[in-house]
Chain A
Amino acid sequence: DTEVTQTPKHLVMGMTNKKSLKCEQHMGHRAMYWYKQKAKKPPELMFVYSYEKLSINESVPSRFSPECPNSSLLNLHLHALQPEDSALYLCASSYQSGGWSEAFFGQGTRLTVV
């Protein structure tokens, strides 16, 4: 099983809403990532969790709050987003952090902020 599952696939939220994106993998990977991808652009790294601890935060605004409840799950809590935050949010995982290993991406959550 080389699957990273993201839910929901699509999300529309207002600027005052609070919502969460979920990501799950059962490959035993110890590194998990959140990326943001705008249309026709490459993915931009947001956060990295290594062994369930936040290891990289790419200066992401606090309206995005990541959480890693256990080694298989990764959440991204959203609050007071702006329309410019509309994008495809991708979760990825890799076997280990600190050394190169293939990152497996989920299909993403298409987020629209209205």
Chain B
Amino acid sequence: QQQVKQSPQSLIVQKGGISIINCAYENTAFDYFPWYQQFPGKGPALLIAIRPDVSEKKEGRFTISFNKSAKQFSLHIMDSQPGDSATYFCAASRKTSYDKVIFGPGTSLSVIP
């Protein structure tokens, strides 16, 4: 059972465009939603994270939008750059078990010049 759904599976965006990755979850016990970025040959790295009491969080060109009632959240990458080409994983964890981070299946982003 996939606890965190993620789409699209792959995404090609022109340089300077906006990349949008969507995620959805079922378990209302989740209360922390991180996004990880992984480059080939590297381990994942935390990009940005949000709690459900906040509807939006922005860090530089990266913004998370959160819709608690719909149990959906999304990552927007503004002014996408070729260096943003990587695999992005949304994830979720819950207060009683923060160590068990549930990852979405991932989105492979390619930003073309």
Binding site for B on A (CB under 8 A): 4, 31, 33, 40-43, 45, 48, 50, 55-56, 90, 92, 97-108
Contacts and interface: CB of A to CB of B under 8 A. Distances in A.
Given A100-B93, A102-B46, A105-B44, A43 B103 contact: yes
Interface of B: 32, 34, 41-46, 49, 89, 93, 98-101, 103-106, 108
Contacts, number: 52
Among A42, A43, A102, find the residue whose CB has the most chain B CB atoms closer than 10 A: A42
Most chain A Cβ neighbours within 10 Å, of B93, B99, B101? B99
Going nearest first, the 6 A-B pairs with the smallest beta carbon separation are A105-B43, A42-B103, A48-B99, A100-B98, A102-B46, A100-B32
Contacts of A106: 43
Nearest to B96: A98
Q: Is the interface of B mostly helix, strand, loop or mixed?
A: strand
A60 to B, nearest CB: 14
Contacts of B99: 31, 33, 45, 48, 50, 55-56, 97-98
A100 B34 CA distance: 10
A107 B101 contact: no
Contacts of A31: 99
A106 B45 CA distance: 9
